[in-house]
Structure 1
Amino acid sequence: MSDKIYFNTSNRFNFKKQLINATTRLHHTLAPKHAKNTARKLLLTPVRAKPKNESPQNLQVASVQSKYGALTTYTLGQGPVWVLNHGWSGSASQFFPLMEQIAKSGFTAMAYDQPAHGQSDGAYGHIPAFVHGLETILDNVDELAGVVSHSMGAAATLECRHAKMQNVPLLLVAPVLNYLENLFGSVARSGYSIKLFTAVVEEIEAEYSYPLNSIDPQAHLKRRESQTIIVHDEKDRFASHSISEQASQSSNNVELVTTQGKGHGRIMSCQETYDAFTRLIHSN
């Protein structure tokens, strides 16, 4: 259900939106605890998408343990490791074509399903879970060569403070760099009560000691000294291309590759993304 909220880009007036707003506000007023539990299930439960691509030959499937349960990993190739981190309601299978390119280049490609996504354990998805998922994977990697991230996964990658992340190159595909604005804007467009959603967010903040105002992927990107390439479609409806453009203009370490007609998902396996990866490994 939540993908219909977070991937809703319409600002048009409609009766259903107004009904949702009135109903959720009333629910929050009359039964606040029940309303928050219902909202958590609705807004923090990603869709477990079916695999987007066929599994490459010699793909190794395993798991690592996290505080959210087992995270399913998918490994291909040999050599230093590139970790691949998907976005909201996505899965590691979206990266299978790129993983083949990485393996052919002499590296190990290691993708994984975030908590509550794909074949991994977990009930809810949110930034603290995404960051912890990445940290857990990095704890199990001996030689990290770089990280590839898509959409919300890119925001989590930039939020991650793991020591292994500090000096490695990043490939960010259709990143959500204005994470908070994007998140609250999506919920507002759905008609859902912002006051109720904020109450759920405050519970997550307290539960995981993760203050909302600390989330600023764009600022974290600007402070990074290692090379980053962003591949972003100009007409992306779900993540702002203009924010990526601003990021590239404000940092000498960030390069933007703009695509046409690749959208938010297909861009993960387009030639421009493959070429960006090749440039990163040659320059590093």
Structure 2
Amino acid sequence: MAAVSLPQKSTTVRKNWKLSLLRSSFAIGAWLMPGATLQRAFRLFGTPMPGGRFKAHTAELAGASVESLAYGHEQVTCYRWGDVDRQPLAVLAHGWSGHGLQMAAWVAPLRRAGYAVVTFDQIAHGRSTGCRATLPLFADVLARVTDHYGGASVLVAHSLGGAAAMIALSRGMRCDHTVLIAPAGDPLDAARRFGGFVGLPGHLSARLFEDFEALTGIDVDDLQVHRSASRIAGRALVVHDLEDREVPWCEGERYARYWPAATLLSTQGLGHNRVLSDPSVLAQSLSFLGGTPVGERVVSSPNLPFGFA
């Protein structure tokens, strides 16, 4: 046991030391050079964690055909199972710092249900090229991949992939059934959480999206759930764990509240990532795709953008 625990402890110590150093540098920089520190934070905010790339390159392909799709100057790596010309298509969309094969648990159940399946690595993620990404880019790449394979009957999206799915669907991408797993719903709160994680003072965290809006030309408020979800026609199942520490349950609840044909399935004890491959979640999601009512309807009010009606 000692031989196993020592490297784990050493790794934890190294990670904690690096995080402490990062937080100290942001705290000092915010005092001495606030403008440069804000720029540095913005670059880091848009840069995925490198571990996802390693995991993507070492993940089992599970019989997938690997294909490359051009997106501007970048290349998007796609993974395909089944015949997209003869079978209805299910598209799987991963979240921030994730990768397409992270959603491999969905492939076999969807194939048994008669679907061809496609997942992919977002720009700057997995085996795809690029160094930085944004939520609007996530949505554009998702729409591009889906269109390339002829359109999706089913869309399964995790975390920031869920937010990207909402934006793509609200802009005209069509899909009969959508399953959102722990979807991120509040970019402003995400910026606050990021600022707290790296030690960026609150007054600078609030300004993170100034550069984002200048870069994309998009008002970040337009990316809020209650601005877009009400325009989506297809059915949706929102799955969110009550103990999710990365994206709070209330953000998933907000999707179910404002998406006209959505229901909410709450889990407990699965957190942000294990919910993605939990057998019960998979089974209930497949039941939803088959037409069985799953989850609870959440009442909405146009005068109450947040909280319970």
Q: TM-score, normalised by structure 1?
A: 0.82
The structure-2 alpha-carbon separation of the partners of 1:283 and 1:187, relative to structure 1 and needing over 3 Å to count, comes to same
> For the residues of structure 1 that align with 2:33 and 2:149, how far apart are their CA atoms?
44
Q: What residue is the counterpart of 2:153 in the other structure?
A: 145
Corresponding letter in the other structure for 2:278: C
2-structure distance, mates of 1:224, 1:207: 27
Bigger Rg, structure 1 or 2: 2
Mapped pair 1:214 → 2:222: yes
Q: Deviations over 1:102-156 (max 9, x none)?
A: 1221111111111101011111121122112112212302142121110111111
Q: Post-superposition shift, 1:245? A: 3.1
Contact kept in structure 1, 2:76 and 2:128, CA below 8 Å: yes
List per-residue Cα deviations over 1:75-123 (Å, max 9, x = no partner). Answer: 1123121111111110111111112221221111111111101011111
* Alignment partner of 1:45 out of 32, 38, 47: 47
The answer to whether the Cα contact below 8 Å between 1:90 and 1:118 also exists between their aligned partners in 2 is yes
Aligned ranges for residues 8-19 of structure 1 at < 5 Å? Answer: 19=24
Cα offsets for 1:210-263 (capped at 9, x unmatched): 221211124422442321101111211111113323543566621111222221
Within the alignment, does 1:25 sit opposite 2:30 as a pair?
Answer: yes
CA distance in 2, matches of 1:239, 1:41: 21
1:61 is aligned with what amino acid? V
State the structure with bigger RCO (CA 8 A, min sep 6), 1 or 2. 1
The residue that corresponds to 1:226 in the other structure is 234
Alignment partner of 1:55: what SS?
Answer: coil
* Gap change, CA 1:220 and 1:275, over 3 Å in 2: farther
Change in Cα spacing, 1:174 to 1:53, as seen in structure 2 (3 Å) is farther
Task: Give the distance between the partners of 2:259 and 2:145, measured in 1 at CA.
Answer: 28
3-state SS in 2 of match to 1:228: strand
Partner of 2:7: none
Conservation of the 8 A alpha-carbon contact between 2:124 and 2:133: yes
Distance in 1, Cα, partners of 2:244 & 2:141? 26
Which stretches in structure 2 are left out of the alignment for 5+ residues? 1-18, 293-309
Take 2:185 and 2:192, find their aligned partners in 1: how far apart are those partners? Answer: 14
Instruction: Report the CA distance shift for 1:199/1:42 in structure 2 as closer, same or farther (over 3 A).
Output: same
Q: Which amino acid aligns with 2:245?
A: R
Counterpart in the other structure of 2:11? none
**In 2, distance between residues paired with 1:35 and 1:213?**
24
Paired position in structure 2 for 1:204: 212
> 1:166-225 deviations in whole A, cap 9, x for unaligned?
x52210001112232233233234321455555553233222222212111244224423
Q: Distance in 1 between matches of 2:48 and 2:164?
A: 16
Task: Check conservation: 2:88, 2:153, Cα contact below 8 A.
Answer: yes
**Residue 104 (1) aligns with residue 112 (2):** yes
Residue number in structure 1 paired with 2:61? 55
Structural mapping, 1:1-284, within 5 Å = 19-29=24-34, 32=35, 34-35=36-37, 37-48=39-50, 49=52, 50-51=55-56, 53-57=59-63, 59-67=64-72, 69-78=74-83, 79-160=87-168, 161-165=170-174, 167-196=175-204, 201-249=209-257, 253-283=261-291
**In 1: Cα distance, 2:251 partner to 2:44 partner:** 28
- Report the residue type matching 2:33 in the other structure: H
Q: Decide whether aligned partners of structure 1 residues 208 and 153 sit closer, same or farther in structure 2, where only a CA change above 3 A counts.
A: same
Contact 1:234 1:259 in 2 (8 A): yes
SS in 1 for 2:33: helix
Preserved contact between residue 45 and residue 123 of structure 1 (Cα < 8 Å): yes
> Secondary structure of the residue that 2:173 maps to in structure 1?
helix
Q: Which segments of 5 or more consecutive residues in structure 1 lack a partner in the other structure?
A: 1-13
The CA deviation string for residues 9-47 of structure 1, in whole angstroms up to 9 with x for no partner, is xxxxx9878734532313534xx3x54553343222112
CA RMSD of aligned residues (A): 2.7
Q: Do 2:187 and 2:220's aligned partners in 1 also have CA atoms closer than 8 Å?
A: no
* Count of aligned residue pairs for this structure pair: 266
Name 1:7's counterpart in structure 2: none
* Amino acid aligned to 1:151: S
Residue 149 of structure 1 aligns to a residue in which SS?
Answer: strand
Partner residue in 2 for 1:10: none
